[in-house]
Amino acid sequence: MAGSALLTLYRSLTRHRLYAILNIGGLALGLAVFLVLFLYVRYEHDYDRMLPGADRIWTINSAYDIPGFPAVNISTPQAMLGQLQADFRGLEGARLTMIDDATVKNGNALTSGIVAEVDPAYFDFFPFPAVAGDPRAALARPDGAVITQGLATRLLGEGPALGKTITLIFGGAAHDYQVAAVLKPMPGNMTYASPIYVPMPAAADTAGTPSPYTTLFLRFADAAAAHGFEQHLPAFVDRHPPDGFSSDSKKPSDFLKLTLLPLAAVHLIEPRDRAVVATLGLVGLLVLLIAIVNYVNLATARAGLRAREVALRKVLGGTRASLVAQFLVEAIATVALAALIALAIAELALPFVNTIGGISLSIDYLGGHSILIPLAVMILLVGGMAGLYPAAVLSHFRPASVLASARSPSGGKAGARLRQALVVLQFAIAIAFMIGTGVLVAQTAHMRDADLGFRRDGLIAVSSFSADGLDGAQRAELVHAFAGVPGVADIGLSRQTPGDGSINILSYQNNDHKITVQQVQTGPGFFQTFGAHLLAGRLFDARHAGDDAFGVTPDDLAKHPRNIVINATAAKALGFARPADAIGKDAPFTQSVHPLIIGVIADMRFASPREPIQPTVYQYDSRATDNMIATVRTAPADVPAVTRRLAAVWRRIVPEVAFQSITINQQLYRQFYQNDAQRSRLFTIGAVLAVLIGCIGLYGLASFDTARRIKEIGIRKTLGASTRDIMRLLIGQFLRPVILANLIAWPIAWFAMRKWLSAFDDRIALSPLYFLAATLIAVAIAAATVFGQAWRVARAEPARALRYE
Amino acid sequence: MIHLERISRLFRSDEVETTALTDIDLTVEAGEFVAIMGPSGCGKSTLLNILGTIDRPTDGRYLFEGDDVAKEPEPELARLRRDRLGFVFQSFNLIDELTIGENVALGLAYRNMPSKEKRERVDAAMDRVGIAHRRNHHPHQLSGGQQQRAAIARAIVGSPKLILADEPTGNLDTENGAQVMEILTELNAEGATIIMVTHSPAHADIAKRTVHMLDGRILTSARRAA
């Protein structure tokens, strides 16, 4: 029976080529979109879950709970593991410190790179398979390094890497390491992966200062054990208060909250990120739904062509069940064929998708992540869903009436209504996607172009300026030399730069009300370089002794605070109606600390466009301190040339440290816009394909429906309808469901996009233009799709149409 | 009213060329009732289709009220059909999706006319053929005779000068056939010109003139003795 069904399918596909192309092509495209997005969702969901035992690892999350601010996650002190293990016997733990501004020396060439300092136990927690050597044993020796195969090839060539020496510069010194293990290539979806691992220095155990990017991993038997452990953490914080903590009324655990986070939850900890993954997964499902609708519509629309076959099979003794089975086998075989093509499309599309989405998806055919099993399940499910309704309609035909009648049944009025409803559904989805895409792209463009309060083009941040290997004299010399580089208009120093992710929050208690501000440490040239817009008062000046914090001891600073410049938001927060009112006033941050406000500048947005601009206080230190970054202003077109010249100057003055720079635009993009931009591109592709697949279905439907109505059109023409009348009739009828779809799409898109935009402080208005534009595009595309079909039949000689049966 | 000169019609498919009509000369005066007879495949329906401008001759001249319509562009022909012609087919050609009332109204659908007047004319046409009570039914709910009367109502709702009927009684029993012929005779008496293809000698006798065709040519054209 299945053989006969497949033979009929083959004949039907080869005889009706257009139908086959539309049906299988549309399905394949829908399945390909679904497959890629399925891989994407699985990739995101599998983050950090790939290695055996990952489900037993938790990380410690340290957060400061500051009133008036969202909880601020901070890095965990390296010493905490020792304290924990002393307090809780038998606790398994490992640490990882990411050093992302290290320099890797290879002969005379310097490259900047990421190095991870880890405990040997790290490789118990993360058992990366090794090509050579034993990673755990490698880190037992103080000069052992574990590197990935890719890096080994790049640094040391194709030969065996074990035992070779690599030189890393970080923490202000050069270190030689022997390569003691080489790791197999790692999956891309690992939060805590690094190309180079070196042992964590023992000194870190005792150093009390929190070093950045330290992550603490703990291992528990199960979630209950972890939860039980978590209950002891507040008491632990009170026993080991953070450095410098002093409060009469509060306990340390009131401020510093330690929580356990399952490793698998780290990557998608932000609700926003989870929402994005869920949305893209939904896009995949909906695009697949559109493709399934196409199949159902085309199959039932064509039912008439199959009616005689059904009738004959019934006459020859076929039961309804056997016919349902036949049509289901047909549907599943069609879906299987489409799935093979989809697999090929997905393979071809993945490099492109990976590039624009900033991800590394791949299709595995063997092993635990084999695509074959999900694919088989999908073929059966989609085939069953797509085939069931047409099978029910087709197997229902009564043989006598079909064989006796000259006319072929078309599934009846109910069938036609259902097809219309399904087209409405398809286009509602597609139009909602288009609106969403429009808003997404517009918001992304807005973030890229919005006025941040400073000119973002032509700013180069020399981030290696704050590297450990430089001393004060070198920094001073660099600033001087940079200023003389042709093309450099200004150079400014600051501890924070836009999009570098660093914030410095101070919370002040002012009698009855509390004010929390961001602090930006500035050096010479900062305001000029960024082009800050002064609203009132003056900017810092080295000639005013009261401005400069250089050389002032903390005690002295508490008694005689330095002058400050504030932003407009801070002026408002402090209660000044106009910026000018703030000049010369004390900023009464605490009972004792009252710095003098000398200037108010317009708000400059250094933080994410999602967050409101915070009250900001600018302080000044005339000497380049060790954690400041130099930012250079140049003409946007000169950025590459000036960067090359800066690097040359750098190599002359600090040859032992790699030069590292980034334009502020790039830094903002990576920190704030990249994810949105990449996701909006994925979403755009999904939307375009959704519309395309919907149109494939509409085209197929139009071609079969017009064929079915040729006679009616002949009658109408005989009665005096002109070609134009017929065109209007046909296109109008095909567009009705498309126009109707807007009624569903608009409210859904409006709610969804309003919610999405509400996450941005700096956002575009949800203009009706996006909705109108999406509608117009959908209607225009749909009209163009059916135009050819309508034109063909509308122009035909009526006599020919009337002969048509 | 109608003057055909050396009309011929070839049908070409990929390999075969079929001659349906050869050198047809025919004149029909206003007010005539002409029956066309002949065996199946002799070109009767093709001739009728060309007369109705729903098919174009391959060659020859077709003058309708003095205008050479063989060369007219399609929109002109659509206007001609809309304003001056009415069609009745053997297989009725009613649209299944529309009710009888809507099918009849289709005869006026492409005219500019106040909708009140349209309604009145549709009502009058349906009364005239006796199917007003079936207004809200669909074609498949009606008998063949009722369907054909609905088709005639659709043909006459626009008060055409020429009614073209292609075997209007071919699918009907004797009684229904007689009713249809009665209506056609009345219409002719009221001034409409009628050209009818038929296989029935009895019905051909009702017409004032009978044209006999064979293999795409006109054999004889005989007027009934008054």
Could you tell me if B109 lies within 8 Å of chain A, comparing CB atoms?
yes
- Other beta carbons less than 10 A from residue A14's beta carbon: 9
In sequence order, the β-bridge partners of residue A364 are A370
pLDDT at A170: 77
Residues of A in contact with B55 (CB under 8 A): 797-800
- Dihedral of CA A173/A177/A181/A185: which sign? positive
Between strands B59-64 and B2-12, the pairing is antiparallel
**CA–CA separation, A336 and A326 (whole Å):** 15
| pLDDT tens per residue across span A524-546 | 899 999 999 999 999 998 788 78
pLDDT score, position A70: 61
- ipTM of the predicted assembly exceeds 0.90: no
Provide, as residue numbers in chain A, all residues whose Cβ is less than 8 Å from the Cβ of B147.
Answer: none
Contacts of A722 in chain B (CB under 8 A): 74-75, 78-79, 110
* Amino acid A389: pLDDT: 81
Tell me the percentage of chain A whose pLDDT exceeds 70: 90
d(CA A428, CA A277): 22
Q: Which of A747, A502, A532, A523 is nearest to A607 (CA)?
A: A502
Domain boundaries, chain B: 2-223
Where residue A453 falls (left for φ over 0; alpha for ψ -120 to 50; beta otherwise) is left
For residues A448 and A673, the answer to whether their CB atoms sit within 8 Å is yes
Whether the per-residue pLDDT at B137 is higher than 70: the answer is: yes
How far, CA to CA in Å, does A400 sit from each of A393, A406, A751, B164?
16, 12, 53, 35
What pLDDT score was predicted for residue B40? 87
pLDDT digits (tens, 9 = 90+) for B118-134: 999 999 999 988 899 99
- Angstrom distance (rounded) from CA A357 to CA A41: 13
What pLDDT band is residue B74 in, cutting at 50, 70 and 90?
A: confident
Q: Which residues of B touch A723 (CB under 8 A)?
A: 74-75, 78
Q: Which residue of B has its CA nearest to A711?
A: B93
Beta bridge partners of A629: A494
* Separation CA B184–CA B190 (nearest Å): 10
Tens of pLDDT, residue by residue over A91-106, are: 999 999 888 777 787 7
Contact at CB, A722 and B106, closer than 8 angstroms: no
Task: State residue B12's pLDDT score.
Answer: 81
Distance of CA A192 to the CA centre of its chain: 18
pLDDT value of position A483: 92
Q: Kindly list the distances between the CA atom of residue A546 and the CA atoms of A149, A528, A560, A595, in Å, as whole numbers in the listed order.
A: 56, 20, 9, 10
CB nearest A722 (choices: B52, B78, B95): B78
Give pLDDT, residue A206. Answer: 43
Determine, for residues A800 and B93 on separate chains, whether the beta-carbon distance falls below 8 Å.
no
Q: What is the pLDDT of residue A14?
A: 77
Alpha helices (H) along A623-673: 639-653, 664-668
| Closest CB to B55 among A413, A720, A799 | A799
Select from A112, A131, A241, A247 the least CA-distant residue to A170. A112
Contacting B with CB below 8 Å, chain A residues are 413, 711-712, 714-725, 795, 797-800, 802
Q: Is B13 exposed, middle or buried (0-12, 13-18, 19+ CB in 10 A)?
A: exposed
φ, ψ of residue A263 to 5 degrees: the values are -55, -40
Name the CATH code of domain B2-223 (choices 3.40.109.10, 3.20.20.140, 3.40.50.2000, 3.40.50.300). 3.40.50.300
Tokens of A733: 């009828």
pLDDT score, position A2: 62
Name the residue among B54, B83, B158 with its Cβ closest to that of A717.
Answer: B54
3-state class percentages of chain B: helix first, strand second, coil last, to nearest 5 = 40, 30, 35
Parts of chain A with a pLDDT under 70: 1-4, 66-72, 108, 171-172, 203-213, 243-249, 304, 400-414, 501-514, 554, 557-558, 589-593, 624-625, 803-805
- Helix then strand then coil, % of chain A, to nearest 5: 55, 15, 30
Q: Where are the beta strands (DSSP E) in A409-512?
A: 459-462, 488-494, 505-510
In A15-91, at which residue ranges do the beta strands (DSSP E only) sit? 57-64, 72-74
pTM: 0.77
Q: Do A720 and B78 touch (CB under 8 A)?
A: yes
Q: How far is A693 from chain B (nearest CA, A)?
A: 29
Nearest-CA distance from A411 to chain B in Å? 13
